[in-house]
């Protein structure tokens, strides 16, 4: 077992454990995004999944960067946009624009805090 620091995920075993959680979030997000797009569900979990990954990256930045890359981020963003365009007419009118705006903000936060950092 290799240690490279004193933090909780600064060893191979812990790094892999956190990576498994990241992969679980990622796999479920993409699987569920396909379903909500295909079936035109008016609810989705893409943005909440991105937020979970961003929050994990605050504590475990290396783990998230290794297991969730820009290509996957772009895929998630594209999936949200496809979902939104296909169901926006089904969303409650009083929340419609806020849902899109909040999603755009979360995607920007993820890009700024996770993808653009060191």
Q: Is the pTM of this model over 0.85?
A: yes
Which residues are within 8 A (CB) of 67 and not within 5 positions of it... i.e. 6 or more apart? 19, 22, 23, 26
Report the distance separating Cα 103 and Cα 109, nearest Å. 10
Average model confidence (pLDDT) across the chain = 93
In a 13 Å sphere around the CA of 72, the CA atoms on its Cβ side amount to: 22
Cβ 18 vs Cβ 56: under 8 Å: yes
pLDDT in tens, 33-85: 999 999 999 999 999 999 999 999 999 999 999 999 999 999 999 999 999 99
pLDDT in tens, 51-62: 999 999 999 999
């Amino acid at each position: 077992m290799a240690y490279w620091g004193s933090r909780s995920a600064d060893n191979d075993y812990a790094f892999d454990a956190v990576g498994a959680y990241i992969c679980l979030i990622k796999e479920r997000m993409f699987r569920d995004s396909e379903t909500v797009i295909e079936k035109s569900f008016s609810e989705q979990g893409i943005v909440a999944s991105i937020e979970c990954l961003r929050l994990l990256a605050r504590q475990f930045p290396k783990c998230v960067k290794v297991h969730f890359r820009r290509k996957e981020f772009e895929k998630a963003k594209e999936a949200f946009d496809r979902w939104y365009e296909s169901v926006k007419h089904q969303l409650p009118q009083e929340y419609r624009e806020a849902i899109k705006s909040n999603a755009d903000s979360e995607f920007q936060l993820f890009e700024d805090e996770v993808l653009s950092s060191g």
